[in-house]
Structure 1
Amino acid sequence: MSRQAEADRPAAVWDPEQYGVFGDERARPFAELLARVDPAAPRRVADLGCGTGELTAALARRWPDAVIEAFDSSPEMIEKARARAIPGRLDFTVGDVRTWRPAEPVDLIVSNAVLQWVPEHVDLLPRWIGELAPGGRLAFQVPGNFDAPSHTLLRELCDTPRWRGRVGAPPRARPVLDPVGYLDLLTRHGYEADAWETTYAQVLHGEDAVLEWLKGTTLRPVLTALGPAETSEFLSDYGALLRAAYPPAPYGTVFPFRRVFVIAGRAGP
């Protein structure tokens, strides 16, 4: 779930506790993705970019006979995830999704909210499908809200004289494709693909709710580059911009969140 170019991000970027503040909202796209996954009883499953493992555990519950290997590049995330390990069935390992190779073909590869942090993922996807067993599927979802105020305001703030050169890299403007782009990419490689998008009208609760959401993901590489005093100042500046862009209502703060979903595999039986 989670992440700057998977192997390049600093180890301390990811904070499992902050990431889990909105755990239910972050799990919703994963549930939608799995609802469209067809393999009735996969024997081997890989979860690439597993984060703290809550959603990987859902895979183990859905397919109790499957052997699941799960990877994330963050030692902090994997340390948290290992409490959910099941000997012989569910294993969590620190690893880089860009160099991952299974020991044998797998029936299902899942990647949840990871590939936006991997610039070369469009080259990885055809290779991953090549690692599937006959009838296997690759299922992934990525955020698609990089043109939203949350991200455009962050890029603009990072480029102001006060912050330029002081913060980590702001989110790239277009780190993912749209559904048509992924469908075209994979179909041109001879694979079948089902691609779609959903925009969730999320209602977040609490003070500065959108800022708190972004502190768990998008802001992590930026904040890692700052000391405590600068962090406080940056969050104050960014929080003011977010409050204007996402004004709270009596029932909470509406934060529209677009997600892109893809399920793909080899054509034929």
Structure 2
Amino acid sequence: MTWSASQYSRFEAERTRPVRDLVAAIPNAGIQTGIDLGCGPGNSTEVLQQRYPDAQVTGLDNDEDMLAAARKRSPGTTFQWADIGTWSAPSPVDVILANASLQWLPDHATLYPRLLAQLAPGGSLAIQTPDNLQEPAHVLAREVAASAQFSSRIGTIRHPPRHDIQWYYALLKPLSGHVDTWRTTYMHPLAGHQAVVEWFKGSALRPYLSQLDDAGKEEYLQRYLQEIGKAYPVMDDGTVLLPFPRLFIVATR
């Protein structure tokens, strides 16, 4: 299931705003090393490097298209291929940033404490994940996949389970000196229903589309567009406001 850096970056300003909010909340005044887990096209790594210009910041991802885009964007920053689900730091690091990446991985009960344990004393683990599995865009993606037309091919596909903010706080507080958590719903103004579809083509729809041939993808996207049109109202100027809730965690050792 490959990524498309260009598709993902079509809404870069909207996708980067949450990581700016997240990085601004990291309490460390200065650091020597920082890791961006699941760096994508490098926008999140750039934000981390701007916050800590003197640090050695490394972006990690397992998609070559994303890494190529990141290296082009920030040629002075190190980007490496890595499986972020199994990655281990060769030595303790000061900040681990994971912006909109860990929701693709299972078993957060094991993953999050393992990442926290790789921090140096006083280091921070900063995580942002979408909290939108029950939003219409996700619900409709599952419903279209489960319809008679598609059920035999993609009807059983599910995103890895996520948890509420209380669950994550309870998991990390005993292992941390301080845990800061919050939830924000961003209201993204998009240019109509097709823009909503394009947004999710770059993220949530990928598991479904990757299992379909070209004709199947077109049919799925047309059905999805029809349902999105019923679920999200259009304002007088043609704008669709897309609510997008996200969870934020900054756990400091």
Using structure 1 for the length normalisation, give the TM-score: 0.89
**Aligned-residue offset at 1:17:** 0.8
One-letter amino acid matched to 1:210: V
- Does structure 1 retain, via aligned residues, the 8 Å contact 2:127–2:248? yes
* Residue 21 of structure 1 pairs with residue 13 of structure 2: no
* Residue 219 of structure 1 pairs with residue 205 of structure 2: yes
* Residue 39 of structure 1 pairs with residue 25 of structure 2: no
CA separation in 1, counterparts of 2:74 and 2:64? 15
* Partner residue of 2:221 out of 191, 210, 235: 235
CA separation in 2, counterparts of 1:156 and 1:255? 19
1:182 matched residue in structure 2: 168
- Does structure 2 retain, via aligned residues, the 8 Å contact 1:154–1:170? no
CA separation in 1, counterparts of 2:205 and 2:109? 24
1:93 matched residue in structure 2: 80
The 1:168/1:260 distance shift into structure 2, 3 A limit, reads same
1:136 matched residue in structure 2: 123
* Residue 124 of structure 1 pairs with residue 111 of structure 2: yes
Q: For 1:101-143, what per-residue CA distance to the aligned partner results, in whole angstroms no more than 9, with x for missing partners?
A: 1121111000000111001233111111111111100001000
Question: Partner of 1:68: helix, strand, or coil?
Answer: strand
4+ long deviations beyond 2 Å: 84-87, 167-172, 188-192
- Does structure 2 retain, via aligned residues, the 8 Å contact 1:47–1:71? yes
CA separation in 2, counterparts of 1:48 and 1:168? 30
* Partner residue of 2:67 out of 78, 102, 117: 78
- Does structure 2 retain, via aligned residues, the 8 Å contact 1:47–1:68? yes
1:5 matched residue in structure 2: none
* Partner residue of 2:186 out of 200, 218, 236: 200
One-letter amino acid matched to 2:190: L
Question: Partner of 1:248: helix, strand, or coil?
Answer: coil
- Does structure 2 retain, via aligned residues, the 8 Å contact 1:168–1:224? no
Structure 2 residue ranges without an equivalent (≥5): none
- Does structure 2 retain, via aligned residues, the 8 Å contact 1:85–1:92? no
* Partner residue of 1:155 out of 131, 137, 142: 142
CA separation in 2, counterparts of 1:165 and 1:182? 35
- Does structure 2 retain, via aligned residues, the 8 Å contact 1:128–1:138? yes
CA separation in 2, counterparts of 1:145 and 1:186? 22
CA separation in 2, counterparts of 1:179 and 1:109? 19
CA separation in 2, counterparts of 1:93 and 1:146? 30
1:248 matched residue in structure 2: 234
Deviates further, 13-22 or 247-256: 247-256
Using structure 2 for the length normalisation, give the TM-score: 0.94
Structure 1 residue ranges without an equivalent (≥5): 1-9
- Does structure 1 retain, via aligned residues, the 8 Å contact 2:180–2:249? yes
One-letter amino acid matched to 1:265: T
- Does structure 2 retain, via aligned residues, the 8 Å contact 1:194–1:264? yes
**Aligned-residue offset at 1:221:** 1.7
Question: Partner of 2:228: helix, strand, or coil?
Answer: helix
- Does structure 1 retain, via aligned residues, the 8 Å contact 2:45–2:58? no
CA separation in 2, counterparts of 1:59 and 1:225? 34
- Does structure 2 retain, via aligned residues, the 8 Å contact 1:168–1:221? no
Q: Sequence identity, in percent?
A: 39
CA separation in 1, counterparts of 2:69 and 2:116? 29
